[in-house]
Amino acid sequence: GYEPRTQAIYQITGRDPISVKPAETLESMWATDVFSLNKMQACLPKAVYKSLKSTIRSDAKLDPSVADIVAAAMKDWAMSKGALYYAHVFYPLTNATAEKHDGFISVQSDGTVISEFSGKTLIKGEPDGSSFPNGGIRSTFEARGYTAWDVTSPAYVMETDNGVTLCIPTVFVSWTGEALDKKIPLLRSIEAMDKSARKVLKQLGYSDVAPVSSSCGAEQEYFLVDATFANSRPDLLLTGRTLFGKTPAKGQQFDDHYFGAIPERVQVFMQEVERKMYRLGIPAKTRHNEVAPGQFELAPYFESADAAADHQQLTMTILRNTAKKHGFVCLLHEKPFAGINGSGKHVNWSVSNSTQGNLLDPGDEPHKNIQFLTFCAAVIRGVHKFGPLLRAVVATASNDHRLGANEAPPAIISVYLGTQLEDVFEQIQKGELSGCKPNGIMDFGVPTLPSFIKDSGDRNRTSPFAFTGNRFEFRAVGSNQSVAGPLIAMNTILADSLDWISNKLEAELSAGNELETAVCNVIKEIMDDHGAVVFGGDGYSAEWHKMAVEERGLLNLPTTADALPYLKDKSIEELFEKTGVLSPTELESRFEVYAEQYILSIEVEAKLVVDMAKTMIYPAAIKYVTDLSSAMVGFKELGLDFNLKIAKKAGELTNKIVDLSSSLESALEKENFDSTEDHMQYFAKTIRPLMDEIRECADALEGELADELWPLPKYQEMLFIK
């Protein structure tokens, strides 16, 4: 009944205020929990440190004799921080972070214990691979999977449920050397992009060209809900989203002071998250409230893509763990609350090196900036040519609730450049590059305030892939996702485009064209063939959906079931093979794993819908209808007419829920499918609509039933009580 729900409200509103920890300086916190190069230099013999450093800088193989010494130093450092365990941390094909914990403890024959950590255990681990999806890779060859220390990513200590643990970032490979994780292809994609980018920069006339790396700054949106509420919502606990729940009448404009929201609790939480991030060397930079009540955002300062990907995973872990400590549950699901703004992860991405700087920086005169125009055109070509790939790498069951829902980017992948750049590229396409429109001046109309020059990429919130001043921002990424997949895709399509450009430039230049003419000719060809992907208008509008598909030939892939099969497309297979980022087997395994995850996560939800409908909602509804029926008898005895309207409506909805639940139950029994693709379509087109129908009835019932009978914490309670 209503007991847990009211008790939750009591408990939460009666909480003691949380004490704020005394301030610490940034310098005293920064990277203290990381076994950084500086720390290694301080504690390793000179020769060992030198050998390790050259391994890190040049991808050389690690000398085994060095590994033992490094391991011992690492263990001593970790134990001085209170660590008794170590773990190889890796990133399997799910969006999770995986780790297996082992103690440093070693029991001697005389019963005494010592601590032990050898070079061998540092370098190589053998997790129980069978519990991680591999899309058939391992079963075909050998069951074993290995983790191997990624020396480019420093070890660190983390406080977990096991106490303090030394965490060693690793890659996860099969016995036969196939990548079973998201990190190996990310490293390969950076390498591929670097190779092509340097080739092009040389052609553009630079003699001194440093390695090009890709950068990433990911903005993370999330919700906080009090744990007491979450604990009485099996849907939140098991699936991360509410499978039922009536949207409050005013939605996001809902009054913020329902029970007196106390953002202070949230602030204390954020502060602790940031301190943990700083100690791990993660540059937390901005934090703010988001559109929806109970929703927040956190963004770090950007870093190199591989470090950023590791740090982003860590950030999600820190958010979840710290929330628990503060009596919250941190929801990273893309759509925890229907009808309320969802959460995404905006992946800001660029490419740069130490000699030419940020290659996507247009500077003050973009029309004269050959290097910028070339790299930007390369991105445009890639996004057009491989739009379905970009859609597929953000395709998950949970992100489907968000994409195309008129608050998040549409499922059609297009590029936003901003008016100034759009104009420059149009001029090049017409063959009449004359100049560039000045950027608008932002005048606040107040003489005491300075006026600003608008960024070249101004703000179009409706685009999935927007140029934002000196980088692109991929906004269709889900809040729950690893950023590795999107980064792999972006680096790889850029590598491919730059290769293509390089070949074209070579032909142009050897035909005797001047460099500028050559570049303009190549860009013109790109715009002729791929300009259709550039769109500056309202991405939410119905006109765009029609125009994009009918006139521009772009694909609208609304669900994961529609998008994922493109991973098997010949052009995408070739792209990954040619660039050396993923072999056909590795790519195929990714399709299988992601498809399986899509099906599984909807299956879990659907079973829970049936369960909750039958065991929580139906009993409450029956109780209400029974109460009304006895009221009817009472009315009769008093000689009064009883208005049957409410009782009838509640009764009808209750019956409908019973019918629909058994339909869904039998629909879930279907087992034989012609292909994985059919299986996914079945879940998208049959299972999900049935779940929605049940929800519609349940949410309608929530609006009919006596408040005290409703068994689940309601939206306004979860969103506003803190």
Helix axis angle, 570-579 to 484-510, nearest 10° = 80
- Binder of Mg ion out of 346, 384, 385, 530 (CB under 5 A): 346
Determine if 345 is a binding residue for Mg ion (CB under 5 A). no
CA distance 241 to 337: 7
Determine if 289 is a binding residue for ligand ADP (CB under 6 A). no
What is the β-pairing status of strands 156-160 and 284-289?
Answer: unpaired
Q: Which residue is nearest to ligand ADP, using beta carbons?
A: 217
- Binder of ligand ADP out of 300, 362, 388, 711 (CB under 6 A): 300
**Least CB distance to Mg ion at residue 153 (A):** 25
166 vs 359 by CB, closer to ligand ADP: 359
Binds 471: which of Mg ion, ligand ADP, none (CB < 5-8 Å by kind) = ligand ADP
**Least CB distance to ligand ADP at residue 523 (A):** 22
DSSP string, 379-448: HHHHHHHTHHHHHHTT--TTGGGTTTSSSS--SB--EE--HHHHHHHHHHHHT-----PPPPEE--S-TT
Q: Which residue is nearest to Mg ion, using beta carbons?
A: 346
**Least CB distance to ligand ADP at residue 219 (A):** 5
**Least CB distance to Mg ion at residue 221 (A):** 10
Contact pattern from residue 171 through residue 210 relative to ligand ADP, giving x for each residue in contact according to CB under 6 A and a dash for the rest: ----------------------------------------
Binds 470: which of ligand ADP, Mg ion, none (CB < 5-8 Å by kind) = ligand ADP
| Footprint (CB under 5 A) of Mg ion, residues 190-229 | 219
- Binder of ligand ADP out of 217, 382, 404, 536 (CB under 6 A): 217
Q: Which two tokens stand for residue 413?
A: 């992948």
Contact pattern from residue 358 through residue 387 relative to ligand ADP, giving x for each residue in contact according to CB under 6 A and a dash for the rest: x-----------------------------
Ranges assigned E (strand) in 253-381: 284-289, 295-300, 303-304, 328-331, 345-353, 357-358
339 vs 469 by CB, closer to Mg ion: 469
Q: Which residues contact 459 (CB under 8 A, 6 or more apart)?
A: none
- Binder of ligand ADP out of 71, 122, 158, 216 (CB under 6 A): 216
**Least CB distance to ligand ADP at residue 247 (A):** 26
**Least CB distance to Mg ion at residue 299 (A):** 8
Determine if 301 is a binding residue for ligand ADP (CB under 6 A). yes
Candidates 5-13, 148-156, 312-320, 342-350; binding stretch for Mg ion (CB under 5 A): 342-350
Between vectors from CA 243 to CA 241 and to CA 246, what angle results, nearest 5°? 105
Q: For residue 677, give the nearest of 590, 567, 595, 585 by alpha carbon.
A: 595
348 vs 589 by CB, closer to ligand ADP: 348
**Least CB distance to Mg ion at residue 301 (A):** 14
Binds 226: which of ligand ADP, Mg ion, none (CB < 5-8 Å by kind) = none
Q: Is 277 helix (H, G, I), strand (E, B) or coil?
A: helix
Q: CA 47 → CA 65, 362, 388, distances in Å? A: 11, 44, 49
Candidates 83-91, 215-223, 595-603, 619-627; binding stretch for ligand ADP (CB under 6 A): 215-223
- Binder of ligand ADP out of 51, 350, 497, 579 (CB under 6 A): 350
**Least CB distance to ligand ADP at residue 349 (A):** 6
Binds 301: which of Mg ion, ligand ADP, none (CB < 5-8 Å by kind) = ligand ADP
Q: Is 285 helix (H, G, I), strand (E, B) or coil?
A: strand
Alpha helices, DSSP H, located in 551-583? 560-563, 570-579
CA distance 426 to 415: 14
Cβ atoms of residues 720 and 236 within 8 Å: no
Q: Which residues contact 220 (CB under 8 A, 6 or more apart)?
A: 297, 298, 299, 312, 315, 316, 319, 332, 345, 479
Q: For residue 360, give the nearest of 463, 503, 477, 456 by alpha carbon.
A: 456
From the centroid of its chain, how far is CA 123? 29
Determine if 215 is a binding residue for ligand ADP (CB under 6 A). yes
- Binder of ligand ADP out of 51, 153, 220, 348 (CB under 6 A): 348
460 vs 560 by CB, closer to ligand ADP: 460
221 vs 592 by CB, closer to ligand ADP: 221
What is residue 365's DSSP assignment? -
CA distance 375 to 241: 40
219 vs 310 by CB, closer to Mg ion: 219
CA distance 678 to 673: 6
Q: Which residues contact 587 (CB under 8 A, 6 or more apart)?
A: 567, 568, 572, 573, 576
Residues that bind ligand ADP (CB under 6 A): 215-217, 219, 286, 299-302, 346, 348-350, 358, 470-471
